[in-house]
Amino acid sequence: MASGGGIRRWGGLALAALAMLPGCAGLLARPELGPDQRLAILPRQGPGLHRPVTIRWNDHLVPWIEAETDADLGYALGLVHGHLRGTQIALLRMIARGRLSEIAGPVALDIDHALRILDYGQAAPEVERRWPKGTRDFVHSFVVGLNQATLRGRPPPEFTLLGLTPEPYTPADILAIGRLAGSDINWLALFSLLAERGKPAFARLWQRTLEAGASLLPPEDEASPQGAALNRLLSGVSRSGSNAVAVAPWRSASGGALFAADPHLGLSLPNLWLIVGMRSPSFHLVGMMVPGLPIVGLGRNRDVAWGGTNLRAASSDLFDVSRLPPAEFVETEVVIRQRLWFSARRRVRTTPLGPVVTDAAVVPSRPGEALALRWAGQEPTDEITALLAAARARSGAEFRDSFANFGVSPQNMLWADRAGGIGRVTAAVLPSRSGFPRGDPVLDGTDPVATAPWARLWDARDLPRLEDPPDGVLASANENPALWASDPPPIGWFFSDGDRVARLRELLLSRPRLTPQDMARMQVDTRSPKAAVLAAGLLARLDALPGGAPEPAMLARLRGWDGDYAAGSEAALVFELLLGRLVPALLPEGSGGRGPETGWNFITTFLLRDLDALPPAQREAVLRRAV
């Protein structure tokens, strides 16, 4: 049985490869190039370009592309992506294709096996077959431009160190990278749960996880040193917590609708986004693109501004397929090449309920158990066509309708249009569930009731939407749809704490007329209302101790605190010091002071409740030790 740390190694190695690039380049004895020298390397001629294209660059090498045809715009975008992010895109393809061992050698073999089992390219042939002509032409032009930069441009310095050689891209590679970008955010939690199932405390932990609505991760001490290090890397460079807000014209100082969004990704080099402006017969916009993908994830054109937050929907289910008939399994053998070592062969099994992920050593399982992963990303959903249509939208209604076949990763998409409309759409493809399992996240693959939701899939036309709300504001921050939608269907297990979206709405509704400057200030707001409530609750319990609260001078800094984490806040420091001593004391034995219940959702849901459940003498001892 594999440990839960294997999953963190899987995710960690992928991001570690990306994060190490600047350091790799620094090890090579090549002169640093200035902006003009870098631009001089950009190929200016080649097959695939039909009319002249102009690319203007600002001082930060952010491009503005003007093309006379849409196909030439696609070509120029591919050229720019390959020129600016060649190594990053190459690594994304290696991850999506399960080829990390060609860079890292045998240490990545188990990760590659897991990636081959997931098979990010599975749906690509059918997606490509269904593409409308406009999408097919645009993507093919993008690939031609990307290959022009890759094969005719100067190889990035990291290629030598990583043992990479330039290889041509195909539309199937682009789709595989897109599926990688659309990975279900719940996998890490689901796979980590597999290591906990069967333990005496699992039932309680699972119920508390569901109540807190928080993802579950195992303690770091269950991982290998490599896994723990990579987990720390993940926590440092992949912070998530996007927000998006839209304001109706009657709440705007300008009389027009306002929109603002922040993807809230951690700082990393290279960045996980690429800013581009563009104009062609069908497109006139500026926005942010994922390197290697010909789509704009958030941005604005002349008529619509848009952005989104991860929905955190449960777009996957785990099924126990151990009791399926042998005829239901299709087995293949894959060859995994390894750098400086021999190639390895591994088994990959698939079922009608998805690939058997527990065949991978990094996925925990019980003896004799085979678990298959059913994921919406295995369906031929078409995110590229959806986002190309969204980029061309001339109204909020056109933007909303663009997402009918958008599947992964599930998003809350918000918009504001020139006519003054604002709205949000749930962009996802999800099984038509009637509920979620309460006792075990693993479903029985032989139970028709458990498998039936995957026979009929919901899309954006079936899922909650909201337009022009009476209060004139919309806000999203990875929240539970139940906070804004009326009687939503079962969408997910784990969501962000509602604190952020509540604070956004508070700020939006606090002014009769909002300005762009107000919208910008919201992005750097540091106040947490739930922290203030929790601090007041802790103070009340400390004050109730015999003789009153200990350390009154220190706790005085916390009294009246409004939850603002401003850089100079002494109250915030005292609060975090209290939590740092108090939370580990309430964790289950053997946790080492770490674990899933140190998450914010758990703390706000259970900390005061758990304190109150202790015998009075024990509660007093815990509180006094914390201070």
Question: Which is it for strands 430-431 and 411-417: parallel, antiparallel or unpaired?
Answer: unpaired
pLDDT of residue 561: 97
245 and 162 belong to one structural domain: no
Long-range CB pairs of 34-42, under 8 A, 24+ apart, other chains included: 35/59, 35/61, 41/83, 41/153, 41/154, 42/79, 42/83, 42/149, 42/153
Tell me the residue range of the domain where 56 lies. 5-181
251 and 129 share one domain: no
pLDDT in tens, 90-146: 999 999 999 999 999 999 999 999 999 999 999 999 999 999 999 999 999 999 999
| Residues 518 and 538 both lie in one domain | no
- Structural domain ending residue among the three candidates 465, 494, 522: 522
Instruction: Tell me, yes or no, whether 545 and 444 share the same domain.
Output: no
Residue 283 lies in a domain: no
Number of domains the chain is built from: 3
> What pLDDT is attached to residue 595?
61
148 in the same domain as 90: yes
Residue 45 in any domain: the answer is yes
| Domain assignment present for 487 | yes
| Domain-embedded: residue 84 | yes
Taking the model in full, what pTM does it have? 0.90
Evaluate whether residue 204 is within a structural domain. Answer: no
Let me know whether 505 and 575 are in one domain: no
Q: At which of 522, 543, 565 does a domain end?
A: 522
Tell me how far the alpha carbon of residue 150 is from its chain's centroid: 27
End-of-domain residue from the set 481, 502, 522: 522
In the prediction, which pLDDT does 30 show?
61
> Rounded distance, CA 1 to CA 356, Å?
15
- Domain co-membership, 545 together with 449: no
Whether residue 40 sits in one domain with residue 127:
yes
Domain assignment present for residue 197? The answer is no
> Does one domain contain both 70 and 138?
yes
d(CA 216, CA 209): 7
DSSP count for the chain of H helices, then E strands: 23, 20
Contact 479, 501 (CB under 8 A): yes
Q: Can you say how many angstroms the Cα of residue 89 is from the centroid of all Cα atoms in its chain?
A: 18
Q: Indicate which CATH number applies to the domain containing 406.
A: 3.60.20.10
CATH number reported for the structural domain that contains residue 124 in this entry: 1.10.439.10
Mean pLDDT of the chain: 88
Same structural domain for residues 453 and 570?
A: no
* Residue ranges of the chain with per-residue pLDDT less than 50: 1-15, 17-27, 218-238
Note whether 564 and 504 are same-domain residues: no
Long-range (24+ apart) CB contacts under 8 A made by 98-104 are 98/334, 98/336, 99/336, 99/337, 100/13, 100/14, 100/17, 101/336, 101/337, 101/338, 101/339, 101/344, 102/163, 102/337, 102/338, 102/339, 103/17, 103/162, 103/163, 103/164, 103/339, 104/13, 104/17, 104/339
pLDDT digits (tens, 9 = 90+) for 304-342: 999 999 999 999 999 999 999 999 999 999 999 999 999
407 shares its domain with 495: yes
Q: Is residue 331 part of a domain?
A: no
For residue 534, tell me if it sits in a domain. yes
* DSSP per-residue letters across 430-473: EE--S---SS-SEEETT-HHHHGGGGSEE-TTTS-EEES-TTSE
- DSSP 8-class letter at 339: T
Question: Which pLDDT value is given to residue 590?
Answer: 60
